[in-house]
Amino acid sequence: MFESRHPSHGFRFSILDAVVLLVGAGLPWLLWSPVGHLALLIPFTVFHFFLFCNVLRVPRGCELLWAGVFVVNVGTWVVSGAFTWWGVLGVQLPVTVAVLAYALQLPSYHGIGSRAPRETT
């Protein structure tokens, strides 16, 4: 209904965010027995979602690129039968750093530490 010309700036946090973070932190405890260390995929992805969407607020395309690489990365390790967190992190960490470095240098950056543009009349 009411639309702004500029996106909001800075860190975002809501009750829903708190619920998602708590559920994401708690689910591995419930899933550890049936899936083992793969249960840690849940907090790993929830943390990145929160970092990308609420803290640094990276562009959607960057989020989707990261998610695609993550799915292929984890899937490859699982299918190979050689899943290790070191392997996943070795591939995913450079992608995470690249996405964040790219997002932080954009003129449209509006995450934590950014300032809303002043309205001109």
Tens digits of pLDDT across the chain (121 residues)? 444 555 576 667 778 888 888 888 888 899 898 988 889 899 999 988 888 877 778 888 889 999 999 999 999 999 999 999 999 999 999 999 999 999 888 877 777 666 666 555 5
Q: Domain coordinates of the chain in residue numbers?
A: 15-105
Token pair recorded at residue 117: 């543009």
